[in-house]
Amino acid sequence: MLNTVIVSAFSPTDDGVRVAADAIKRGELAVIPTETVYGLAANALDSSAVDKIFVAKGRPQDNPLIVHIADRDDLCNIAREIPPVATALADRFWPGPLTIILKKSSVVPQNVTAGLDTVAVRMPENEIARAVIRAAGCPVAAPSANVSGRPSITCAKHCKEELGGRVNVILESFDCKFGVESTVISLVGPRPCILRPGAVSPAELEAILGSVDISPAVLRSLEKNEVAASPGMKYKHYSPNAEITIVDASRENFISFINADPNRFALCFDEDIPDIPPEKAVSFGSQNDPLSMAHNLFEALRTLDQRGARTVFARKPSLDGIGLAVYNRLLRAAAFREISL
Ligand code: AMP
Ligand code: MG
């Protein structure tokens, strides 16, 4: 058990930033806020610090980490080739929730990229995250700050519950703006390919790139012996203790289905709440507002566990904009179970 120091920062000049950065400089672990989800950060150029991330999360060694930078100039240290499309994407979306996969440079340790010849890089929009990285003086490897397999974390309270004793510092801050992890796009194949949907939508990427592929594994499970384009695709993800099933149905059909059996819990929209007994319903956002769903999904999954829910049925979100990212996470939380009513 580590003695976890809890500090806070609500502006980039607050003291907590320095405490988290000093820990990273010493080769220790610090949980930091970002605009996507909270991240578990270590010096990306120090392989023994990076090893500690895998241990603290219980993360499989073959699942590579995203390297976070505070300044555009740092990209050329991390990647050995920066094609014009990468520059165009960085110009448009950085700082922001877009991770770009490029060929790695030799300074990036093998454990960061899980032995791959490519590296995932992002410049976060959250100015407290950037202040920590800048003060640490190194790029920072930072996967989501949750125990592997569990839902990602979007508020400081859940970071303390889940990672207290496993990390050196937790930097408390505001809840995460988006609430789902970054969009991941690979630029190392023949065509740009989205490996994971996030707040930057396929349409926004197409506006810059002309056309972009979406990996089939975004919306289905990997087939037997299929090689994952992104190693993270093959693992169980975002799993609460409850068994989740997505339901594609009208509001009326969904509500009658939930109310037909007292053991059925609902992961529903705000608009459904009045028609379901309150102890069985947890909302993850408003029906026509996918951003609110992104913002609330992971917390709603944890709330269901706290309520002791065993069998949960979730409303299917619209797939527009960030809705694709919400559905991608929900599918994995549900182990791809979906029914239509
Ligand atoms: P997390 O840090 O937990 O948000 O997960 C990072 C995601 O990025 C995982 O799904 C990884 O598999 C993926 N990723 C990181 N580096 C690479 C890479 N070099 N190639 C493909 N996917 C990557
Ligand atoms: Mg994760």
Q: pLDDT in tens for each of the 341 residues of the chain?
A: 999 999 999 999 999 999 999 999 999 999 999 999 999 999 999 999 999 999 999 999 999 999 999 999 999 999 999 999 999 999 999 999 999 999 999 999 999 999 999 999 999 999 999 999 999 999 999 999 999 988 999 999 999 999 999 999 999 999 999 999 999 999 999 999 999 999 999 999 999 999 999 998 888 777 777 777 777 666 667 778 899 999 999 999 999 999 999 999 999 999 999 999 999 999 999 999 999 999 999 999 999 999 999 999 999 999 999 999 999 999 999 999 999 99
Is the distance from the beta carbon of residue 144 to the nearest atom of ligand 1 less than 6 Å? yes
Minimum-distance ligand 1 atom for the alpha carbon of 231: 12
Look up residue 187 and give its DSSP letter: -
Closest by Cα among 175, 56, 61, 184 to 119: 184
Mutate to test the pocket of ligand 1, among 230, 237, 238, 329 (most ligand atoms within 8 A of CB): 230
Q: Read off φ and ψ for residue 272, nearest 5 degrees.
A: -85, -20
Which ligand has the nearest atom to the CA of 181?
1
- For the beta sheet containing 30-32, the strands, ordered from the edge strand earlier in sequence to the opposite edge, are 5-8, 169-172, 30-32, 39-43, 140-141, 66-68, 118-122, 98-103, 183-186, 193-196, 213-214
Minimum-distance ligand 1 atom for the alpha carbon of 37: 4
213's torsion region: left (phi>0), alpha (psi -120 to 50) or beta? beta
* Alpha carbon of 99 to ligand 2 centroid (Å): 13
Beta-bridge mates of residue 186: 101, 193
Minimum-distance ligand 1 atom for the alpha carbon of 144: 3
* Alpha carbon of 101 to ligand 1 centroid (Å): 9
The Cα angle at residue 194 between residues 99 and 326, in degrees rounded to 5? 85
* Tokens read off for 16: 């907590």
What is the rounded (10 degree) CA torsion for 217, 218, 219, 225? 10
* Alpha carbon of 306 to ligand 2 centroid (Å): 21
DSSP, residue by residue, 86-109:
HHHHHHHH-SSSEEEEEEBPTTS-
Is the distance from the beta carbon of residue 78 to the nearest atom of ligand 1 less than 6 Å? no
With a CB cutoff of 8 Å and minimum separation 6, the contacts of 132 are 17, 20, 21, 24, 30, 32, 41, 140, 171
Q: Rounded to whole angstroms, how far apart are CA atoms 34 and 178?
A: 9
pTM of the complete model: 0.95
Indicate the SS3 state at residue 256.
helix
